[in-house]
Amino acid sequence: MKLEVMPKQRVLEAEQREEAMEMSGLELWKHEKPPKICPMPSLIPPEAAYDEAALVPPLNFAMVDDGIFRSGFPETSNFRFLKSLNLRSIVAARYLCPEPYPETNTEFLEENGIRLHQFGIEGRKEPFVEIPDDKIREALKVVLDPRNQPLLIHCKRGKHRTGCVVGCLRKLQKWCLSSVFDEYHRFAAAKARITDQRFMELFDVSTLKHLTPSNC
């Protein structure tokens, strides 16, 4: 039995049809619309995300005790966070320095009924320069008065002057000296000062014992 040989013309026509079909399919694919990808819905409402982002605590912010907080100097970006604390008072330990309190911060305090207590404690880097004992005592009297709480203690960085006030408060709360120094070092870190630690070690709390802190 002889096999029928397809004439060359018919072979050429078959190849042309196959090529036309391939090109037709390619053109269709090119003009197809890509699948629509829907973005995942946000699990946090935009308002909640904004509020969370807006609550920015000041540098070195921490809770000291019920109704008592500490930090570095509050910037305008921190005002919304401070407002959420419902503060009654601010004990300014930079202002525990003798400089005038910034106008923007003063306006914020007035608008929110927050009282400012300043004690004029200057930062001391030099050795053998005394930290004013009487100013620390006056600051502690304000801190321990429940009528002034909730309150915030702050200086420029929340390290040295604030650390001394809080360290003396801890002695009044009967913390051991090693724990007082550990807390001081957590905030002061490499900037810890021997003069501050010496002051806290020698600070006499006996005249303040009638001002009973919450956990004494």
Give all domains of the chain, ordered by start, each with its CATH number. 62-203 (3.90.190.10)
Tens digits of residue pLDDT in 63-94:
999 999 999 999 999 999 999 999 999 998 75
Q: Which helix (H) or strand (E) holds 108?
A: helix 103-111
What digits encode the pLDDT tens for the residues 96-123? 445 678 899 999 999 999 999 988 666 5
- How far is Cα 69 from Cα 54, in angstroms, rounded to an integer? 19
Write down the catalytic residue from 155, 164, 168, 176: 155
- The DSSP symbol for 30 reads H
What span, in angstroms and rounded, lies between the C-alpha atoms of 162 and 164?
5
Q: What is the pLDDT of residues 164-177, one digit of tens each?
A: 999 999 999 999 99
Is 155 a catalytic site residue? Answer: yes
Q: Which of 202, 125, 201, 112 is nearest to 157 (CA)?
A: 125
Determine the pLDDT at residue 46: 53
Res. 154 pLDDT band, cuts 50 70 90: very high
